[in-house]
Amino acid sequence: MNISEVSKEYGLSADTLRYYERIGLIPTVPRKKSGLRDYDEKACQWVNFIKCMRGAGLTIETLIEYVKLFQEGKVTIKARKKLLLDQRIELAARIKEMQKVLAMLDHKIDGYEECLMEFEDKLMKKQ
């Protein structure tokens, strides 16, 4: 796949894909004879992984650390797992906070409906 196809497939700009490759989040993407990037399955799997982890809130720095550990091989499995577990704890805490915010929004929305009904009742009585 070329960079525009990957960009469309994963919803990331071509600039973002180039940036991720430049900083090492995506292994060097194979190139065609013309010099254009030719994303293979492995590169696409990395794009998908990085996009997913960024969506979960992992920082670029954390992902650089993870990829660095991954490239060091099996001896870093425990360190990689710990990194992911730490990130999971942070994500779970953010989700819990977001659930509180969602509940507050729901409460406020319900309050508006009650206010609207009271307002409409007053209008109806005036007629």
Domain 1-55 has CATH 3.20.20.70: no
Confidence class of residue 121 from pLDDT cuts 50, 70 and 90? confident
- Mean pLDDT of all residues in 91-112: 93
| Span 59-98, pLDDT tens digits | 999 999 999 999 999 999 999 999 999 999 999 999 999 9
Topology at the third CATH level for domain 59-127: Multidrug-efflux Transporter Regulator; Chain: A; Domain 2 (1.10.1660)
- Mean pLDDT of all residues in 3-17: 97
- Mean pLDDT of all residues in 12-35: 94
Nearest to 25 by CA among 56, 4, 52, 1: 52
Q: According to CATH, where is 1.10.1660.10 located in the chain?
A: 1-55, 59-127
11 Cβ neighbours under 8 A, 6+ residues apart: 51
Strands, E assignment, the chain: none
Q: Is a pLDDT exceeding 80 seen at residue 116?
A: no
